[in-house]
Amino acid sequence: MELLTDGLLALLTAYLAFRCMLAPKLSKTVFTFFAFGLILALMWIRLGAVDVAIAEAAIASGFMGVLLLDSLRDFSPSYSEFEDNIEQPPNQVAFAKRSLSQWVPAIASGAGLLLFLFIALQAVREVPAGGGLAAFAEAKLPESGAEHPVTAVLLNFRAYDTLLEVAVILMGLLAIFAAGGIRQFRKPSLPPAKDPVLRKAILIFTPLLFLFGAFLLYIGKSGPGGAFQAAVLWGAIGILLHLGGWRIFNALSRRMRRIIIIAGPLFFLLTGFALMARSGTFLAYPPAFAGFLILIIETLAAVSIAAALTAIYAFLTD
């Protein structure tokens, strides 16, 4: 039975990936991508990595999907004149035109890719099962201030990595601002939704999403969940409200927005420095306060990441 589910999942993943690449219309590509992300999340669950599954479903499929949907507007009839080209399935036209000699590089690279995959599989098969540091992490768990090994690794054992990762989100935001300054690529802003049912639904979802996010954040101490997962749900609130015409994020002053977006990484970094001033070691939590510090760091990081995601969306749609 397990083999059947796993086999089915593997086949579906490969199938959806191909559909995603070969879809004749961009809108189909985007919707197949949604499905692909969800199947990937299921795969992560089958592999026992629930934290990754939540992150995959929320960020890779959900948030990425929203951004992709927004970029579809570039090709919508009201904005662009390329509509005719998009309606035709370009892939099939291209296939028909190629002569035999043009197929040679395609076949050669395909064969090369297959060989690469085969060697990769061979290499993966040699990897012993149950390796890794799970046992080490479990042994040190009581000193870490967290009850879930993944949280302990992320926020204590390898907190330095996580500090950089939280900062990466901020850098990504800055990089998007840097790229988005190019006027000729700006598109008209998205009009707020007028539909009363949609607006009502958004209002109903907002507290639910907030509570679910808070739940994921808190449960991260003892089970799958945590700052990144909570942040996406809270970021979804910002995006939904934005869609409904409540531009809460733009209502804040620039300084306030900056403070919210930077608070997470800044507090994380300053905590690290403060602890270094105290004990001489960067990010060395005293075991008695570790749980408390981790919770504050995670909460602020979640708020900042949620604000960054909302800011990206607000920046791209205004």
Residues engaged in binding other proteins (CB under 8 A)? 119-120, 122-124, 126-128, 131-133, 136-137, 140, 156-161, 164-165, 167-168, 170-172, 174-175, 177-179, 181-182, 184-185, 255, 258, 262, 265-266, 269-270, 272-273, 276, 280-285
Nearest-approach distance from CB 276 to other proteins, in angstroms: 6
Nearest-approach distance from CB 197 to other proteins, in angstroms: 39
Would you say 237 or 310 has its CB closer to other proteins? 310
Q: From CA 207, how far away is CA 175, in angstroms rounded?
A: 31
Q: Compute φ and ψ for 252, nearest 5 degrees.
A: -70, 155
Place of tokens 């000193």: 143
Vertex 11: Cα angle to 14 and 103 (nearest 5): 45
Single-letter amino acid, residue 245: G
The DSSP result for 211-255, as a single string, is HHHHHHHHHTTTSS--HHHHHHHHHHHHHHHHHTT--HHHHS-HH
Would you say 34 or 157 has its CB closer to other proteins? 157
Place of tokens 């990441």: 305
Nearest-approach distance from CB 122 to other proteins, in angstroms: 6
Would you say 172 or 192 has its CB closer to other proteins? 172
Nearest-approach distance from CB 17 to other proteins, in angstroms: 14
Q: From CA 145, how far away is CA 278, in angstroms rounded?
A: 19
**C-beta of residue 37 within 8 angstroms of C-beta of residue 65:** yes
Would you say 77 or 172 has its CB closer to other proteins? 172
Place of tokens 């990504």: 172
Would you say 77 or 180 has its CB closer to other proteins? 180
Nearest-approach distance from CB 284 to other proteins, in angstroms: 5
Would you say 212 or 282 has its CB closer to other proteins? 282
Nearest-approach distance from CB 79 to other proteins, in angstroms: 18
Would you say 37 or 213 has its CB closer to other proteins? 37
The percent of the chain in helix, strand and coil, each rounded to the nearest 5, is 80, 0, 20
Nearest-approach distance from CB 89 to other proteins, in angstroms: 24
Place of tokens 């300053």: 270
Q: From CA 309, how far away is CA 238, in angstroms rounded?
A: 8
